[in-house]
A = this chain, B = another copy of it.
């Protein structure tokens, strides 16, 4: 009997992502579970405030495109089909919760730095992912 049928691995696109992906791949195989590969792009406006009026559309488009390409490359490397690669824009914890719920995910996998606790791109935290989620959460220690 396996506990998990569908896992969501949320990654940033730093050089640390493969550590999380390697673990996610192994674990999903051990459980015979489907793996959903997720990257949340934070709207540029969040990071840059908004006091100075600027058209950030082009920058956002470039970021989205780069993220999509990088995720596709990881998908290929880790055997995740196009259908199971998700790029979404928003607050990481909210988007991860939404996707987990919509897709009936039973395990969320995220990277964690020992000293800083859970860490996703741009400061999302363990508690952000843990709070309000209905499913289990695995924090993969990044070395």
Contacts and interface: CB of A to CB of B under 8 A. Distances in A.
The A interface, classified by DSSP as helix, strand, loop or mixed, is mixed
Contact of A126 (B117, B133, B138, B140): B117
Given A30-B2, A127-B117, A127-B126, A136 B138 contact: yes
A76 to B, nearest CB: 20
25 contacts: A2-B26, A3-B23, A3-B26, A3-B27, A30-B30, A30-B31, A112-B130, A112-B137, A114-B131, A114-B132, A114-B134, A115-B131, A117-B130, A117-B131, A126-B126, A126-B127, A126-B130, A127-B127, A130-B139, A134-B141, A135-B141, A136-B138, A136-B139, A137-B139, A139-B139
